[in-house]
Chains A and B, each alone.
Chain A
C-alpha cells in the first residue's frame, strides 16, 4: 500500500482496498434524519439539512455539531426522513396556476384610500400616520 503524507493514516495500518470490494455493506448505512434549526426561542424552526444516525438521540448529537456549531441556536428538531410525507414532483402541475392568483394576496387590494376616509369620518386616529407625522415634527 502507498504511504500517506498524513502520519495518522500510516499509523492506522488500513487494509488494502485494491480489490475494489466495498468495505461497508449497503445495508449497514444508517437512516437519515431531517434537521430543523431554531435561532431564537419563539422563532420558527427552519429546515437546514440532514444527518445520518442510528436513532433519534444520535441524530440530535450529530445535528448539534453539523448545524449548530457555527450559528446562534436555541433549539434543534430532528425528524426521521421516512416520516416525512411529501408531494410528488410528478404532481407539480397542481401548483401551476398559483402565481396568477394574486387576488389571494392582501397586496392585490387597493383600499387604503377608503380606509383613511372611513377613519377620518369616524374620528379614528391612524396610528401609523400619527407616528410618521410626530417623527417629521421632531426632525424639524
Chain B
C-alpha cells in the first residue's frame, strides 16, 4: 500500500513507540544478567530481555525500509528527547519485585498490542506481530507464574509484590498515552487505538492479579505517567542511552 507523507509520519511515530518500549525494557531487563536470583531464572529473564531487543530490531528494520536510519543508528545514537518509550520502561531495575511487576504489566500490554496488530492492514507490521506471538506468549507465562507464585507465597512476598504493583501502576498507565495521530491510524486500519488496548490489558492483568491475592489501585488514585510518547522522559533515560551507545560512539564507523 502507498501511504501519503502525513500517513507515513503517523505510522512511523507508532512504530518508534512500540520498538523503543521494547528496546528500553529489554535493555533494563538485561541488566539482571549475571545477577538474577537463581541461575535458571537468570537465564530465563535474560532470554526474555533478548527477545524484546530482537523484536525491537525487527521493527527498526521496518522503519529503515520506510526511509529511517539503520537500526544501529536508531538504537544507539538518538538522544532521549527523540525516544518515544513510556516511562515505565525507563526506570532503573530496582529490586526483583519491581522488575518482575514491571515486566508483568508491560508484557501483558505487548501481548494485547501484538494480538491487535496481527490484524493490522499494514501487512509488514501484521507479519511481525504474528511472528512473535509464541515468544510473547511465553513472556506472559513467565510473568504470570511468578506473580501468582509470589502473590500466594508468604506475607513478605505478597507485601513486596503489592508495593511493587502500587509503584508501577501509574507508570504502566503511561503505556497508553494517546498519539496525535490516533485517527489516522484508525482510519488506515493500522491500529484501533490505545483506549481499546488499555481495556484489553486491564482485563487480562485483572484476571492474574485476582488469582494472586493482589489489589489493583483504586481508580480514584489513577494518575497516568504520560510524556514518554512526546519525548519527555524521566531523568533515568539519558544516562541509560549514554551507556548503551558508549561502545558505538568510540568509533561510529567501525566494522563489526
- Chain B nearest CB from A88 CB (Å) reads 29
Stretch touching chain A among B35-43, B117-125, B161-169: B35-43
Q: Looking at the complex, which one of B31, B35, B38 makes contact with A52 (CB distance below 8 Å)?
A: B38
List chain A residues, Cβ under 8 A from B138: 64
B142 within 8 A of A: yes
The 8 A CB mask of B130-147 against A (1 = contact, 0 = none) is: 000000001001100110
Task: Give bound CA distance, A66 to B39, whole Å.
Answer: 9
B54 within 8 A of A: no
Q: Dominant SS at the B interface?
A: helix
B170 within 8 A of A: no
Contacts A11-B92, A57-B145, A61-B142 given; does A52 touch B44 at CB 8 Å:
no
A55 within 8 A of B: yes
B149 within 8 A of A: yes
Task: Give bound CA distance, A66 to B44, whole Å.
Answer: 7
List chain B residues, Cβ under 8 A from A9: 35
List chain B residues, Cβ under 8 A from A30: 38
Task: Give bound CA distance, A55 to B145, whole Å.
Answer: 10
Output the nearest chain A residue to B30 by Cβ-Cβ distance: A8
List chain A residues, Cβ under 8 A from B47: 65, 69
B187 within 8 A of A: no
Task: Give bound CA distance, A66 to B41, whole Å.
Answer: 9
Task: Give bound CA distance, A85 to B194, whole Å.
Answer: 54
Task: Give bound CA distance, A22 to B31, whole Å.
Answer: 24
A8 touches B44 (CB 8 A): no
Q: What's the interface size class on A, roughly?
A: 20 to 34
Output the nearest chain B residue to A62 by Cβ-Cβ distance: B40
Contacts A7-B243, A11-B92, A30-B38 given; does A58 touch B43 at CB 8 Å:
no
List chain B residues, Cβ under 8 A from A6: 34
Contacts A8-B35, A12-B35 given; does A54 touch B44 at CB 8 Å:
no
A61 touches B141 (CB 8 A): yes
A53 within 8 A of B: yes
List chain A residues, Cβ under 8 A from B92: 11
A8 touches B40 (CB 8 A): no
Q: State which residues 18-59 of A face B: CB under 8 Å.
A: 30, 51-55, 57-58
The 8 A CB mask of B40-73 against A (1 = contact, 0 = none) is: 1101100110000000000000000000000000
Output the nearest chain B residue to A30 by Cβ-Cβ distance: B38
B243 touches A62 (CB 8 A): no
Contacts A54-B149, A55-B149 given; does A62 touch B31 at CB 8 Å:
no
B43 touches A8 (CB 8 A): no
Q: State which residues 1-45 of B face A: CB under 8 Å.
A: 31, 34-35, 38-41, 43-44
Q: Looking at the complex, which one of B34, B38, B43, B145 makes contact with A65 (CB distance below 8 Å)?
A: B43
Contacts A8-B31, A11-B92, A65-B44 given; does A58 touch B149 at CB 8 Å:
yes
Task: Give bound CA distance, A66 to B38, whole Å.
Answer: 12
Task: Give bound CA distance, A69 to B44, whole Å.
Answer: 9
Output the nearest chain A residue to B141 by Cβ-Cβ distance: A61
Task: Give bound CA distance, A8 to B31, whole Å.
Answer: 7
List chain A residues, Cβ under 8 A from B142: 61
Name 15 extra pairs, CB < 8 A, besides A55-B149, A62-B44. Answer: A6-B34, A9-B35, A11-B92, A52-B39, A57-B145, A58-B145, A61-B141, A61-B145, A62-B40, A64-B44, A65-B40, A65-B43, A65-B44, A66-B44, A69-B47
Can you identify 6 A-B contacts, CB atoms within 8 angstroms? A8-B35, A9-B35, A11-B92, A55-B149, A58-B146, A61-B145
Binding site for A on B (CB under 8 A): 31, 34-35, 38-41, 43-44, 47-48, 92, 138, 141-142, 145-146, 149, 243
